[in-house]
Amino acid sequence: MNPTFPDPSAALAAGKAPLHLLIAAPRGFCAGVDRAIEIVERAIERYGAPVYVRHEIVHNKFVVDSLRTKGAIFVEELDQVPDGAPVVFSAHGVPKVVPAEATSRGLDWLDATCPLVSKVHRQAERKVEAGKHILFIGHRGHPEVIGTMGQVPEGAMTLVETLEDVAELAFPEDAPLAFLTQTTLSVDDTAEIVAALRARFPQIAGPRAEDICYATSNRQAAVKAIAPRCQLVLVIGAPNSSNSLRLVEVAEREGARSRLIQRAAEIVPEWLDGVETLGLTAGASAPEVLVREVVERLREWREVSEETIVSAEEHMVFKLPRQLVG
């Protein structure tokens, strides 16, 4: 018995209509994730295994497990790193005290913080130096938020997650305020919060350019391009990946059911009942091999035709730390 139904008539005869697959582009790895993974791989080549990594280098179990097999050891805090061992900081960024502690211990450390996150860090420092109190739009507990808030003295930044948070802010209208944002937020939600902040505090200063990164914006736009045509959108990403969770939300706002999955094995065949057109995308930490894995899994149940919908081209490349160049 061949479950792949190589021709439409066989599929229809078995009660399984062909499945049209709309694959979003861009999807998957962004330049910051590419850079972070390459930093770990090059560090292993340079120093030899093991190389320690503080926190998941990016939010993707497949990537983390792959690097672990090459010699990376993932830890939560620096006190788990032995003296003399090399350590890499994750792409999400770390508070200032972390590299300071690493230096004080004489550790060889490499910073894999995404350059776009580092840009927000520098903006935070400049705003505080200019006497501003920062309202930081982000998700409590996310590593990027912890890292960014750790760039400035305690009390110099207030976290804002929702429109309700904006309404509850107790600052006077003319307070010297500035706002910055996490790089992996919903473009639409963030725009609403920024508008509310500007309405409450007309003098508030903002960044010269949007903090939400190009990859986050592009992937959300790509989902908007396919979701209205789909009954279901699958998003490949981790449950702790902010940008992946936002893609699920975007698809649902566009009228499609959406599911977050980490691997093809998580797909439940019943999800496909009544689905003629299925959308597929991947968060910025998910490799393309997982996209192909999902496609092959779908082919086990339905005859699949693929169509890639391109909404933007990406050519961004970030430099590696100088310790790994040459």
Could you give the residue numbers annotated as active site?
Answer: 144
* Count of helix runs (H) and strand runs (E) in the chain: 11, 12
Q: Which residues of 196-210 are buried (b: 16+ CB within 10 A; e: fewer)?
A: bbeeebeebebeeeb
Contact 38, 320 (CB under 8 A): yes
| CA gap 203, 231 in Å, rounded | 44
| CA gap 59, 48 in Å, rounded | 24
Nearest one of 296, 173, 171, 277 to 229, comparing CA atoms: 277
Q: Please calculate the CA angle 154-77-242 and round it to the nearest 5 degrees.
A: 70
DSSP H or E stretch at residue 22: strand 19-25
- Per 3-state DSSP, the chain is made up of helix, strand and coil in percentages (nearest 5) of 40, 20, 40
Contact 314, 26 (CB under 8 A): yes
DSSP H or E stretch at residue 236: strand 232-236
| CA gap 139, 245 in Å, rounded | 12
Contact 48, 69 (CB under 8 A): no
